[in-house]
C-alpha cells in the first residue's frame, strides 16, 4: 500500500516537475536561438564563399546532460513492453540537442559561421540503462568556428 502511494506520488511529482522544467527550458531555448540567429551553424565542409578569406578557425563544442523525469521513464517502460514510438523521450532528446548547439554557439562568440557541425548523443554513466536508475543523456555538438577577414583586411580590396 505504502509502495503504491509512494509510486503515485513519484509519478505526479515527476509529471509536474518535468512539465514545468520542460516548458521553461523550451522558453529559454527559443529566446537564445533567436538571439544567436546571426551565427549560423551548418554541416557543409567548405566555408568560403565568393572571395571571402578565413581569418581564424577553431574547434568549438557545447555539451549538456539532461535527465528524464520519473513519469516519462515509467511511460517509456510501458512502451518497452508493447513496442512502438517512444514519444515520451522525444522532447528530452530534442531539448538536449538544441541546448548543446546553443552552448556551442555561445562558445563561438565573434565567429561568422560554424561549419562541419556534428551532434552526438550518449546515455550517461554505466548505470544509464540499468534497472533502478534514472536515464540521463548527454548531447554534444561540435564544429569549426570560422571568422572571415574583414573586407578592409583583404589585400587589394581596399576601396
Partner 1 sequence: MRYRAKELKQNVNVSRTSPIKELFILLGGVLGILIAVYAALGFAVDLVVPKLPSSIEQSLGRLYSGIYDDTDETPAEAQLQKILDRLSAASGDTEIKYKVHIVLNPQANALALPGGNIIVFSRLIEETASENELAFVLAHELGHFANRDHLRGLGRGLVLLTISAALLGADSSATNFIMNSLQNVEMKFSQRQEQAADLWALDLLNKTYGHVGGATDFFEHMSKNDKRGRIRYYFATHPHPENRIRVLRKNILKKAYLEKEKTALDRPLSKLVTTPGRTN
**Closer to partner 1 at the Cβ: 112 or 140?**
112
- Shortest Å distance, C-beta 122 to partner 1: 18
33 binds partner 1 (CB under 8 A): yes
Question: Would you give the DSSP letter of residue 89?
Answer: G
* Calpha distance 104→111 (Å, rounded): 11
120 binds partner 1 (CB under 8 A): no
**Closer to partner 1 at the Cβ: 24 or 80?**
80
Q: Footprint of partner 1 on residues 35-64 (CB under 8 A)?
A: 37-42, 44, 49
In the structure grid, which three cell numbers stand for residue 15, read together?
Answer: 509529471
List the alpha helices (DSSP H) in 36-121. Answer: 70-82, 90-107
- Shortest Å distance, C-beta 59 to partner 1: 19
24 binds partner 1 (CB under 8 A): no
Q: In this structure, are residues 56 and 147 in contact, taking their beta carbons and an 8 Å threshold?
A: yes
Q: Pairing relation of β-strands 54-67 and 113-123?
A: unpaired
7 binds partner 1 (CB under 8 A): yes
| Sole residue written with cell 552526438 | 120
3-state secondary structure of 25: helix
Binding test (CB under 8 A) with partner 1, winner from 45, 131, 152, 156: 131
* Calpha distance 132→102 (Å, rounded): 32
Q: Name the site residues for partner 1 (rule: CB under 8 A).
A: 1, 3-4, 7, 10, 15, 33-34, 37-42, 44, 49, 70-82, 85, 87-88, 90-91, 93-94, 113, 131-132
Amino acid at each position: 500500500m505504502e509502495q503504491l502511494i509512494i509510486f503515485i506520488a513519484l509519478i505526479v511529482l515527476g509529471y509536474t516537475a518535468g512539465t514545468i522544467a520542460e516548458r521553461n527550458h523550451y522558453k529559454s531555448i527559443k529566446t537564445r536561438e533567436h538571439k544567436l540567429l546571426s551565427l549560423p551553424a551548418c554541416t557543409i565542409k567548405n566555408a568560403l564563399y565568393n572571395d571571402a578569406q578565413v581569418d581564424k578557425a577553431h574547434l568549438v563544442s557545447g555539451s549538456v546532460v539532461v535527465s528524464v523525469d520519473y513519469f516519462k521513464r515509467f511511460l517509456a517502460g510501458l512502451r518497452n513492453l508493447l513496442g512502438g514510438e517512444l514519444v515520451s523521450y522525444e522532447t528530452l532528446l530534442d531539448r538536449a540537442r538544441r541546448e548543446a548547439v546553443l552552448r556551442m554557439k555561445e562558445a563561438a562568440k565573434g565567429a561568422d559561421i560554424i561549419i562541419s557541425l556534428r551532434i552526438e548523443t550518449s546515455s550517461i554513466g554505466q548505470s544509464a540503462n540499468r534497472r533502478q536508475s534514472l536515464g540521463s543523456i548527454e548531447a554534444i555538438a561540435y564544429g569549426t568556428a570560422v571568422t572571415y577577414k574583414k573586407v578592409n583586411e583583404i589585400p587589394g580590396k581596399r576601396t
